[in-house]
Amino acid sequence: MTLIKVNNATKHFVNPLWNNVFNDFFTNQFNGQEQASHVPSVNILEDDAFFEIHLSAPGFSKESFKIEVSENLLSIQGDSKIESGDGKSGRKYTRKEFSIGSFKRSWTLPEQIDVDAINAKYENGILHVSIPKRLKDSKATTREVKIG
């Protein structure tokens, strides 16, 4: 049995060659390889005591994230390997649409942040970064946040 991609849009063009050219262009399938670029979506919550960032990153592990705060700039980096097969001998993907790869997102934090109390956890494909507000002035520091 062979799986064939069905494209109902092909009836709009006369020449099948052009159908493939447009299809390849819009699906980023040049030379048969996916070229995915993915920036995870975020939700940012705020109340009187803290900010919280929820970053959607399914397919990552907590070890693949790096969270840093330097001079009121919060940066979240993620890196996940893109595999060419499923790990079983002789098997390979004929199509792979999971958008896993590398990304970096950064935000400027307001001055009332307690940098030393920032913490993070990763569960069910969502990275949760809790950013408490501080009550008194203190110096900005540089810190790497460990994910629990």
Count of structural domains within the chain: 2
> With contact defined as beta carbons under 8 Å apart, do 56 and 132 qualify?
no
Same domain, 29 and 41: no
Question: How many Cα atoms are found within 13 Å in the side-chain-facing hemisphere of 28?
Answer: 8
pLDDT at 84: 60
Q: Are residues 120 and 146 in the same domain?
A: yes
79 and 20 fall within a common domain: no
What pLDDT score was predicted for residue 38?
Answer: 72
- Residues spanned by the domain of 138: 36-83+100-148
Gap between the Cα atoms of 14 and 35, Å rounded: 28
Identify the CA nearest to 86 among candidates 77, 76, 78, 98. 98
What confidence tens digit (pLDDT) does each residue in 84-128 have? 656 666 777 788 777 567 899 999 998 889 999 999 999 999 999
pLDDT on residue 71: 87
Q: Phi, psi (5° rounding) for residue 76?
A: -120, 125
pLDDT beyond 60 at 53: yes
Q: Is residue 89 domain-resident?
A: no
Quote the pLDDT of residue 78: 93
Shared domain for 116 and 128, answered yes or no, is yes
More confident residue, 39 or 41: 41
- Could you give the percent of the chain with pLDDT greater than 70? 64
Q: What is the pTM of this model?
A: 0.63
